[in-house]
Chain A
Amino acid sequence: MRHRMSKFVAAMIGTLLVLFSALFALGRSG
């Protein structure tokens, strides 16, 4: 169960980081 949670948290963090990277790109290019 906790291992499945770890997979879920890793996927969630990955998604958030891609979103933040996109925000960074949008912010930088105005």
Chain B
Amino acid sequence: MGETDANNFHTSAPSRLSTPERRVISGVLWIALYLLFTLLPLAIIGLGPTPAPRGVWREFSVALGFVGLAMMGLQFVLTARFRWLNAPYGTDVMYAFHRHISLVATALILAHPGVLLVVDTAETLRRLNPLTPPWAGRFGVLSVVCLLALIATSVWRLRLRIPYETWRRAHGILAVAAVSFAIFHILLAGVYLDTPLKRILWLVYSLAWLGLIAYVRLIKPFWQVRTPYRVVSVAEERGRSYTLAVEPEGHAGMRFRPGQFAWLTARDSPFAEHEHPYSISSSAEHPGRLQFTIKVLGDFSEDLRTARPGERIYLDGPYGALSADRYPDARGFVLVAGGIGITPMISHLRTFADRRDPRPVVLFYANNNWDEVTFREELERLPAWMNLKVVHVLTTPPEGWTGETGYVTKEILAKHLPADRDDFLYFICGPGPMMDAVEAALHELGAPVGSMHAERFNLV
């Protein structure tokens, strides 16, 4: 009876709203809604009196075009950083899906003229010739050219040596152009939107995408300008890193979960879209002062290092699913960090220490050498406040080093993992190859797939 009462109490507790089961349900629901919204254009053109059928292959090609365009339009939803949409998957996965599904959408869109070229080569070539009418054909070609430029500059951005900011601005412009030209292509072709009702529904549907762009590029930056943060200090850390501490200026700031991150804009307007994602490294118990520990890796991080107290910065966040607070039932945690991947982990450790959380935590922390171990001294102190075991793994250890060396291997994990680790969760953050290797090793050691959580910071 007592146990039943306890369960009932737990069921009615507010935290139940963010339990893993609920996230799975909403995760599946969003996928179903995604399918529904991509098929909506077919429902719109199928409304009421429909145009005469034009042969199965031509109809198939048209359907692929409509569906492909809907997928392109929905990309604006995926990247609008809606928290309720990102929560079940994590922001990194949302961006990964954005990349994967863009290739599928492009294939469907290219199949639209592709199928027409096969079934009616001469007529299709005439329509696709930009030097001759119709305008519908010209807009279709323009849309595909923008789309191909969009994909090429994204897939080969590094190879083409396109700076991140330039790419990001061009990405937005090309995306809007590709979708807008495609909308004109459909309106001018006019065959399938043959009644006022269909034209109105189609316009409402496509304007919703453009409304999202206004939300992301205008409304959100406007909100960020209204809620600025002030730099309090910049402190050097080990491992070519520094900690930037900021406080909200004239507003309540943001509450976050340990392990989450925010997009940071400095020395520029939020409207400039010149922002970078950084993990919050401070304790979630002190949301009034946020800390970001940043490794100097490029121009932005180098420049930010010279920030002066009082300087204004802007934040968009918090985001990210790599947080122990999403799993209140976990009995313990294994954290695996590589280099600056320590930042979401130190946020966890500081939060746990502040809360005097008694659950066991094992931290595997891989670095190149002992001098570069960010938060080294603090990690020595933290076990006084919480149940923490730290395992340092160094690729280039100093003389006389008795700890672990090399990479975080299955053997090293097996040696230090607690024997009783049922209902433990595993969080991994570091370079991509390390995360792949650690995930595989943990899986071989019996960690269930659902218990491993990794966040990849190459979001873009």
To the question of whether A and B form a pair in one complex, the answer is yes
A-B contacts, CB under 8 A, total: 88
Contact yes or no, A9 B50, CB < 8 A: no
**Which residues of chain A from 10 to 29 have any CB-CB distance to chain B below 8 Å in the complex?**
10-11, 13-14, 16-18, 20-22, 24-26, 28-29
Complex interface bits, B157-185 against A, C-beta within 8 A gives 1, otherwise 0: 00000000000000000000000000000
Shortest Cβ distance from residue A14 to the other chain B in the assembled complex, whole angstroms: 4
Choose among B31, B67, B89, B96 the residue that contacts A20 (Cβ–Cβ < 8 A). B67
A3 and B96: CB pair below 8 A? yes
Asked if B456 is at the interface (CB within 8 A of a chain A CB), the reply is yes
Given the interface pairs A1-B439, A2-B454, A25-B60, the reply to whether A17 lies near B449 with Cβ below 8 Å is: no
| Residues B56 and A29 in contact, CB atoms below 8 Å apart | yes
Contact of B104 among A14, A26, A30 (CB under 8 A): A14
Indicate if B63 sits at the interface (CB-CB under 8 A).
yes
Q: Does B390 contact A (CB under 8 A)?
A: no
The one of A6, A17, A24, A29 that contacts B100, using a Cβ cutoff of 8 Å:
A6
- Chain A residues with CB under 8 A of B54: 29
The residue that B35 contacts in the complex, of A5, A16, A30, with Cβ under 8 A, is: A16
Give chain B residues whose Cβ lies under 8 Å from the Cβ of A24.
Answer: 42, 46, 59-60, 63
Tell me the bound Cα distance from A16 to B34 in angstroms: 12
- Output the nearest chain B residue to A15 by Cβ-Cβ distance: B104
B223 contact set on A, CB distance < 8 A: none
How many chain B residues touch the partner (CB < 8 A)? 38
Nearest-neighbour CB distance to chain A for B47, whole angstroms, equals: 13
Contact: B96 with A13, CB < 8 Å?
no
Chain A contacts of B71 at CB under 8 A? 17
Contacting residues, chain B, for A5 (C-beta < 8 A) = 93
Beta-carbon contact of A13 and B104 below 8 Å: yes
Contact status A28-B67, CB under 8 Å: no
- Bound: A22/B227 CA distance, A: 50
Q: Using Cβ atoms and an 8 Å threshold, which residues of chain A touch B454?
A: 1-2
Please judge, given known A-B contacts A1-B452, A2-B90, A13-B101, whether A25 and B57 are in contact too, CB under 8 Å: yes
By beta carbon, the residue of chain A nearest B95 is A6
Verify A2–B64 contact, CB threshold 8 A: no
- Judge whether A6 and B67 touch: CB under 8 Å: no
Please name all residues of chain A whose beta carbon is closer than 8 Å to the beta carbon of B96 when the two chains form the complex: 2-3, 6-7
Q: A11, B104: Cβ atoms under 8 Å?
A: yes
Find the B residue at minimum CB distance from A8. Answer: B100
Please indicate the chain B residues that have their CB under 8 angstroms from the CB of A10 in the complex: 97, 100-101, 103-104
Would A2 and B93 count as touching, CB distance under 8 A?
yes
Task: Answer yes or no: B55 CB below 8 A from chain A CBs.
Answer: yes
Cβ-based interface call for B107 (8 A): yes
Query: Residues of B contacting A26 with CB < 8 Å?
Result: 56
B104–A25 CB distance below 8 A: no
Please encode chain B, from 28 to 70, with 1 for each CB lying within 8 Å of some chain A CB and 0 for all others.
Answer: 0001001100110010001000100111110110111001000
CB distance from A13 to the nearest CB of B (A): 6
Residues of B within 8 A of A25 (CB): 56-57, 59-60, 62-63
Alpha-carbon gap, A18 to B63, bound state (A): 9
B34 touches A13 (CB 8 A): yes
Per the bound structure, the CA–CA distance linking A5 and B35 in Å amounts to: 17
Whether B108 sits at the interface, judged by CB under 8 Å, is yes
Residue on A nearest B31 in the bound complex, by CB = A9
Interface set of B (CB-CB < 8 Å, partner A): 31, 34-35, 38-39, 42, 46, 50, 53-57, 59-60, 62-64, 67, 71, 89-90, 92-93, 96-97, 100-101, 103-104, 107-108, 439, 449, 452-454, 456
Residues of A near any B CB (own CB < 8 A): 1-3, 5-7, 9-11, 13-14, 16-18, 20-22, 24-26, 28-30
